Amino acid sequence: MLSNAWIIPAIPAVSFFLVLFFGKRMPGRGAEIGIAAVGASFVLSVVAVIQWIDRVENATGQHEGLRALGRGIFAAAGHGEVAVQPVTSSITWWQNGLVKFTVGTRVDGLVVMMLFVVTLISLLVHVYSVAYMREEVRFTHYYAMLSLFTASMLLLVVADNTLLLLVGWEGVGLCSFALIGHFWEDQPNSNAALKAFFTTRTGDIGLMIGIIMMFFASGTFSISGTNAYALSRGADHSLLLIGAICLFIGIIGKSGQFPLHTWLPDAMAGPTPVSALIHAATMVVAGVFLGARLYPVFFKGFSIGSGSINFMALIGGITIVIGAVLAFVQRDIKKVLAYSTISQIGYMVMALGVGAWTAAVFHLFTHAFFKALLFLGAGSVSFSGSHHSFDMKSDMGGLRKPMPITFWTFIIGALALAGIFPFAGFWSKDEILVTAGASGFDAFMIVGLVGAFLTAAYMTRCIYLTFFGEYRGHGHPHESEPLITVPLVVLACFSVVAGLINAAPLGIEKFKEWVEPTVSFPALVHPDFDYAKALISLTVAALGIGIGAYYWFQREERRPLGGLTERNALARAGYTFLERKYYLDVLYENIIVAGIKAPIAGAAYWFDQHIVDKIVNSVGAGARRLGTFVYDTVDQKVVDGAVNQIAEVTGESGGLLRYIQSGRVQRYALLLFAAIGLLSLALLIANI
């Protein structure tokens, strides 16, 4: 399976066409094709995971030659590990001079981990959508796009070169556009889809420039080649820095990092299962995946090893805090989760920026489960509890009794997100913080702790508003059907146990062993588990929950800060500032876009009026003049003249000849004899 990994994205891609062309005629309106295809991909991904683990385990002691090679190139020889070569297979697409463009797959630990996560989440979302989207008109198209979405993400994951990766990257962007705008009948939804598309495109420009720069720097599009170049001694550092910045702009756009995060909350306009897919497994993690895939470029470009503040860690750190703060002022449960995603992706980016590669990828892995769980839980609440509304303040509350499964799985997801022991989020977040501290990035460790505190507090608020208090909606809340609850339970199980795969104090570090590359990879710090820091982060999270609970689990009027925004102008201003999302949307739409739009529009208008119109008008006038000339001269004089002339000549000659036609036989006979006489005379003369 490892060398034939192309099959995994190919199955959903084929399914896309099958659903599109035959879906409507199927009894399940195409859903069964999509589920079967993604299920097959999932099974193959599990096979790939098992084969990869087998390969890693077998590498010890059996590949002395490879170990020497790995030590020679670079690598983890210092860690006392063997180099496990990634499995690559590629074919030449086309060749231009000496440059070969290939299409192929390159499978390593990171890739099999992603294949597993993407296919699992996608499969659960497919199943969940059967119930959730049942009433939809465009059910079949929805499934077709889900299949294409999955296929694009899987292609992005297995790609062995940056060009193929870009194809998957754009495919993911296109499908997320189509799915966010699924309910396009309402103007705000199609606006949200356009916003998501254009904002990520802004980042994609950076990505394309970055890919081209790295091609000219390293002479190859292949990921192995680019990484090897970045780590080689001859690499040009300033070139790497600019390349890394350009690539990172792509990550900022795709992964919803500050300052291009504004599309992500708006993307909540799409169906909830799609939000789960976008936030957990496909769209936004694509950026983090790119960062992890081309890590040597970023590591060398941003000089991450030196322990100084760098662009990547800075953006990640800012994003953690601004995302988390915004989550407090949302009424919409999905927007709370959206800002939470922004913040958590910020953790991953910050982790990459501080050299905690394994922790970042590990957090991606665990986050996928609990964030998908939370989104699907929110979908379940709106589907069966709040009558298709997502407004926590006006349509929810007190749902824990009618919806026990949704409630408990949501609690598990929230605890995992908040980083409470022993749920998945604890292990990965803790590892990020510990590694940040140990690599000399103490400031970022503190940012991470602040983020952890905020995360715990806003999730407490969200749970209170949704599940506790009085029911404020108008529906008849009841538990959702098994098609919805079973995926929730599956994800809840993963949210509990997924962290144990890399639980350092228990002596398990399988995730690092299986996933972290050992070839063409910088030497990273792997600090030991730090009980003191773990305790601090746990305390901070508990404090967040405690303070949140103390504040929100009281009656409105008895809250210590209740009514503060009404009494205090400064607090009100702060609240408005947050509610307006730091005025970033205003900045983008009213200042930057309008500022660019007006002169461009003006110039375009001038060009239109003065150049284009002039050309059109001159062409028109010229054509008219030519037409008049042709009419007057050619048509009237030449053509008509010729016709008239012919008619006239014919008429006149007819008039003349008419005298011969007297109708008298004897006149004819006279002419006959006269003609014979003349002819005879002529012959006579000719013969003499």
Partner 1 sequence: MGLNQYLILSAFLFCTGVYGVLARKNAVLVLMSVELMLNAVNINLVAFSAFKGTVSGQVFALFVTTIAAAEVGVGLAIVLLIYRNEHTSDLDEVDELKG
Q: Residue 639 or residue 683: which is nearer to partner 1 going by CB?
A: 683
| Cβ(389)–Cβ(332) below 8 Å | no
The token pair at 130 is 């059967």
For the bound state, the minimum distance from the C-beta of residue 673 to partner 1, rounded and expressed in Å, comes to 6
Q: Residue 61 or residue 654: which is nearer to partner 1 going by CB?
A: 654
**Residue 634: C-alpha distances to residues 69, 453, 542, 620, 624 (Å):** 86, 89, 96, 20, 15
Residue 233: φ, ψ to 5°: -70, -30
Distance between CA atoms of 370 and 258, rounded to whole angstroms? 23
Q: Residue 605 or residue 673: which is nearer to partner 1 going by CB?
A: 673
For the bound state, the minimum distance from the C-beta of residue 655 to partner 1, rounded and expressed in Å, comes to 10
For the bound state, the minimum distance from the C-beta of residue 644 to partner 1, rounded and expressed in Å, comes to 24
For the bound state, the minimum distance from the C-beta of residue 658 to partner 1, rounded and expressed in Å, comes to 5
In the complex, the residues that contact partner 1 under the rule CB under 8 A are 657-658, 660-666, 669-670, 673
For the bound state, the minimum distance from the C-beta of residue 666 to partner 1, rounded and expressed in Å, comes to 6
CB atoms within 10 A of CB 619: 10
Q: Residue 532 or residue 657: which is nearer to partner 1 going by CB?
A: 657
Distance between CA atoms of 32 and 41, rounded to whole angstroms? 14
Q: Residue 91 or residue 665: which is nearer to partner 1 going by CB?
A: 665
Three-state SS for 21?
Answer: helix
Buried b (16+ CB within 10 A) or exposed e, 329-344: bbebbbbbbbbbbbbb
Q: Residue 612 or residue 674: which is nearer to partner 1 going by CB?
A: 674
| Cβ(438)–Cβ(527) below 8 Å | yes
For the bound state, the minimum distance from the C-beta of residue 674 to partner 1, rounded and expressed in Å, comes to 10
Q: Residue 561 or residue 670: which is nearer to partner 1 going by CB?
A: 670
For the bound state, the minimum distance from the C-beta of residue 639 to partner 1, rounded and expressed in Å, comes to 31
Is the link from the previous residue into 259 a cis peptide, with omega within 30 of 0?
yes
How does DSSP classify residue 658?
T
For the bound state, the minimum distance from the C-beta of residue 640 to partner 1, rounded and expressed in Å, comes to 29
Q: Residue 50 or residue 670: which is nearer to partner 1 going by CB?
A: 670
The token pair at 409 is 């799985």
Q: Residue 608 or residue 652: which is nearer to partner 1 going by CB?
A: 652
For the bound state, the minimum distance from the C-beta of residue 659 to partner 1, rounded and expressed in Å, comes to 8
| Cβ(174)–Cβ(201) below 8 Å | no
For the bound state, the minimum distance from the C-beta of residue 679 to partner 1, rounded and expressed in Å, comes to 15
Distance between CA atoms of 279 and 387, rounded to whole angstroms? 23
For the bound state, the minimum distance from the C-beta of residue 618 to partner 1, rounded and expressed in Å, comes to 59
Distance between CA atoms of 674 and 402, rounded to whole angstroms? 128
Q: Residue 98 or residue 665: which is nearer to partner 1 going by CB?
A: 665
Buried b (16+ CB within 10 A) or exposed e, 524-555: bebeebbeebbebbbebbbebbeebbebbeee
* CA proximity to 378, closest of 252, 286, 273, 224: 273
**Residue 487: C-alpha distances to residues 121, 153, 339, 493 (Å):** 9, 21, 23, 10
Distance between CA atoms of 575 and 557, rounded to whole angstroms? 19
Q: Residue 577 or residue 673: which is nearer to partner 1 going by CB?
A: 673
**Where does residue 678 rank: exposed (0-12), middle (13-18), buried (19+ CB within 10 A)?**
exposed
Q: Residue 591 or residue 670: which is nearer to partner 1 going by CB?
A: 670
Three-state SS for 258?
Answer: coil
How does DSSP classify residue 440?
T
Distance between CA atoms of 233 and 240, rounded to whole angstroms? 12
For the bound state, the minimum distance from the C-beta of residue 675 to partner 1, rounded and expressed in Å, comes to 13
For the bound state, the minimum distance from the C-beta of residue 652 to partner 1, rounded and expressed in Å, comes to 15
| Cβ(16)–Cβ(144) below 8 Å | yes
Distance between CA atoms of 371 and 416, rounded to whole angstroms? 9
Q: Residue 641 or residue 677: which is nearer to partner 1 going by CB?
A: 677
How does DSSP classify residue 226?
H
For the bound state, the minimum distance from the C-beta of residue 630 to partner 1, rounded and expressed in Å, comes to 41
Q: Residue 187 or residue 661: which is nearer to partner 1 going by CB?
A: 661
Q: Residue 607 or residue 673: which is nearer to partner 1 going by CB?
A: 673
Helix-, strand-, coil-residue percentages of the chain, each rounded to 5: 75, 5, 20
Distance between CA atoms of 123 and 131, rounded to whole angstroms? 14
**Where does residue 661 rank: exposed (0-12), middle (13-18), buried (19+ CB within 10 A)?**
exposed
For the bound state, the minimum distance from the C-beta of residue 682 to partner 1, rounded and expressed in Å, comes to 19
For the bound state, the minimum distance from the C-beta of residue 672 to partner 1, rounded and expressed in Å, comes to 10
Alpha helices in 159-186 (DSSP H): 162-180
**Where does residue 193 rank: exposed (0-12), middle (13-18), buried (19+ CB within 10 A)?**
buried
DSSP notation for 189-204: HHHHHHHHHHHHHHHH
Q: Residue 497 or residue 669: which is nearer to partner 1 going by CB?
A: 669
For the bound state, the minimum distance from the C-beta of residue 636 to partner 1, rounded and expressed in Å, comes to 34
Q: Residue 572 or residue 667: which is nearer to partner 1 going by CB?
A: 667
Distance between CA atoms of 218 and 229, rounded to whole angstroms? 6
